[in-house]
């Protein structure tokens, strides 16, 4: 298969971790008979330095012409970087918002996995962490409270702020379909999270999700109120497979789930549109303080590349090979500094990439 991938190295440690992900993709392509075609574009601070804006129209068109986008981290030190003296619409993060909008990326995927080898970093009690967990949080990314009408007014001398939460059935249906499709690639269980006991938008959400579920009789559906879900994530995270939810709830729950894994350096993510196209990136930031020192953890970006193979190209075997190689490296006792434990061998960014490549071969 010919795979056309646009790469955004980004800022800080971004170029280092993307380089390691490409190294892994190349060995997968060689082993399984694929052709990887990469085109790099600038975004974020790197684009500001060259073009004066965080994202150019030319970069967007290049991304649109690809089958998928693999991205490192963007941004810099908000207190010292000249990028953050610019107006908000010209700062690095504006590029990320711009490309999400231009590519119509409405479905955000945030896996949260607790590897047995890293259970000691989990903040939960041992009797909970011992069970491990592997969940996928599916967050609707372009609707809801964050994108509704908002205003601040003064009434009778009192300031009043208004934010509007709006969803239509088509917005709900398309994210639900994505959620059930992804559940079919996993353990075939969807937990739809809402606040249907209070909100009309949640009652519509629940109704549409049930309509979609009728077409996926092989997938189990359960409903859970968001407050209960927040509690269950720290009480019994192993119960979850795919958590399907709206924008604000997903924003909060995905951050909670990432915290209980013990290391954000291990967490991949993806944003998909209504085709197979997606943008894949690590959940962590650009870590400018360690950029260029060969100490960054590339695993989140490598696992993002695995997600790209699985969800944009349906190459499950190849994605499984990457996931298994990462797990084997951890079992063999190799760690970057952020996940280092006593008795393990500390390695740098490049060496970690090499170790994963060796185990794929």
Is 39 within a domain?
yes
Known catalytic residue: 227? yes
Known catalytic residue: 35? no
* The pLDDT value given to residue 210: 98
Known catalytic residue: 84? no
Known catalytic residue: 31? no
Do 133 and 231 lie in one domain? The reply is yes
- First-to-last CA distance in the chain? 19
How remote is the C-alpha of 84 from its chain's centroid? 24
Residue 129: burial class (beta carbons within 10 Å; 0-12, 13-18, 19+): buried
Backbone φ and ψ of 112, nearest 5°:
-130, 110
Expressed as residue numbers, the domain containing 251 is: 123-261
Do 183 and 218 lie in one domain? The reply is yes
* The pLDDT value given to residue 265: 78
* The pLDDT value given to residue 259: 85
Is there a contact between 139 and 256 (Cβ–Cβ < 8 Å)? no
Do 268 and 255 lie in one domain? The reply is no
Q: Which of 351, 286, 316, 317 is nearest to 77 (CA)?
A: 286
Single residue among 261, 281, 306 that ends a domain in this structure: 261
CA dihedral 345, 346, 349, 350 (to 10 degrees): -50
User: Which residues, other chains included, contact 226 with Cβ-Cβ below 8 Å and sequence gap of 6+?
Assistant: 193, 194, 195, 245, 249, 253
Do 26 and 156 lie in one domain? The reply is no
Is there a contact between 113 and 264 (Cβ–Cβ < 8 Å)? no
Do 313 and 221 lie in one domain? The reply is no
Do 90 and 149 lie in one domain? The reply is no
Do 158 and 205 lie in one domain? The reply is yes
Do 87 and 130 lie in one domain? The reply is no
CA dihedral 97, 98, 101, 103 (to 10 degrees): -120
Do 129 and 74 lie in one domain? The reply is no
**Which residue is catalytic, options 188, 195, 327, 350?**
195
Q: Which of 103, 92, 112, 94 is nearest to 44 (CA)?
A: 92
Number of independent structural domains in the chain: 2
**Which residue is catalytic, options 84, 146, 185, 294?**
146
pTM for the model:
0.88
Report the alpha-carbon distance of residue 246 to residue 175 in Å, rounded. 9
CA distances in angstroms from 200 to 140, 166, 204, 211, 244, listed in the order given: 17, 9, 6, 17, 17
Is 117 within a domain?
no
Report the alpha-carbon distance of residue 98 to residue 93 in Å, rounded. 9
* The pLDDT value given to residue 116: 84
Single residue among 204, 231, 261 that ends a domain in this structure: 261
Do 133 and 50 lie in one domain? The reply is no
CATH number of 68's domain: 3.40.718.10
Do 144 and 191 lie in one domain? The reply is yes
**Which residue is catalytic, options 67, 194, 241, 251?**
251
Residue 47: burial class (beta carbons within 10 Å; 0-12, 13-18, 19+): buried
Is 118 within a domain?
no
**Which residue is catalytic, options 77, 227, 236, 332?**
227
Single residue among 233, 261, 289 that ends a domain in this structure: 261
CB burial of 69-81 (b: ≥16 within 10 Å; e: otherwise) equals bbbbbbbbeeeeb
| DSSP string across 56-94 | -HHHHHHHHTSSEEEE------TTT-GGGGS-GGGSHHH
**Which residue is catalytic, options 134, 255, 323, 354?**
255
Successive 10-residue mean pLDDT values, the chain, 361 residues: 96 97 98 97 98 98 97 94 95 92 94 88 88 94 91 96 96 97 96 98 98 98 98 96 97 91 85 94 93 96 97 96 96 93 94 98 93
Is 44 within a domain?
yes
* The pLDDT value given to residue 240: 98
Report the alpha-carbon distance of residue 29 to residue 21 in Å, rounded. 12
Is 27 within a domain?
yes
Known catalytic residue: 195? yes
Do 106 and 231 lie in one domain? The reply is no
Q: Residue 262 carries which DSSP code? A: S
């Amino acid at each position: 298969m010919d795979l056309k991938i646009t790469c955004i190295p980004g800022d800080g440690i971004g170029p280092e971790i993307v380089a390691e992900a490409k190294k892994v993709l190349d060995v997968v392509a060689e082993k399984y008979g694929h052709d990887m075609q990469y085109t790099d574009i600038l975004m974020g601070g790197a684009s500001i330095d060259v073009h004066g804006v965080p994202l150019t129209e030319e970069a967007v068109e290049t991304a649109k012409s690809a089958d998928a986008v693999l991205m490192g981290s963007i941004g810099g030190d908000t207190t010292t970087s000249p990028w953050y003296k610019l107006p908000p619409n010209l700062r690095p993060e504006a590029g990320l918002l711009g490309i999400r909008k231009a590519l119509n990326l409405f479905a955000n995927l945030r896996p949260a996995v607790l590897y047995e080898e890293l259970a000691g970093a989990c903040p939960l009690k041992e009797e909970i962490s011992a069970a491990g967990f592997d969940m996928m949080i599916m967050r609707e990314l372009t609707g809801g409270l964050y994108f509704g009408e908002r205003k601040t007014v003064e009434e009778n001398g009192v300031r009043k702020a208004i934010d509007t939460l709006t969803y239509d059935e088509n917005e709900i249906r398309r994210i639900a379909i994505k959620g059930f499709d992804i559940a079919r690639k996993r353990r075939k269980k969807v937990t739809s999270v809402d606040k249907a006991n209070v909100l009309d938008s949640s009652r519509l959400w629940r109704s549409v999700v049930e309509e979609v579920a009728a077409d996926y009789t092989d997938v189990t559906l359960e409903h859970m109120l968001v407050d209960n879900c927040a509690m269950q994530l720290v009480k019994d995270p192993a119960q979850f497979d795919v958590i399907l939810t709206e924008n604000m709830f997903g924003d909060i729950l995905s951050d909670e789930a990432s915290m209980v894994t013990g290391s954000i350096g291990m967490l991949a993510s993806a944003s998909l549109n209504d085709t197979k196209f997606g943008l894949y990136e690590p959940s962590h930031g650009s870590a400018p303080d360690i950029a260029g020192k060969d100490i960054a953890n590339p695993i989140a970006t490598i696992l993002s590349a695995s997600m790209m193979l699985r969800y944009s190209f349906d190459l499950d075997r190849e994605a499984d090979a990457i996931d298994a190689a990462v797990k084997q490296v951890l079992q063999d006792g190799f760690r970057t500094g952020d996940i280092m434990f006593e008795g393990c061998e500390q390695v740098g960014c490049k060496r970690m990439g090499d170790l994963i490549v060796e185990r794929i071969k």
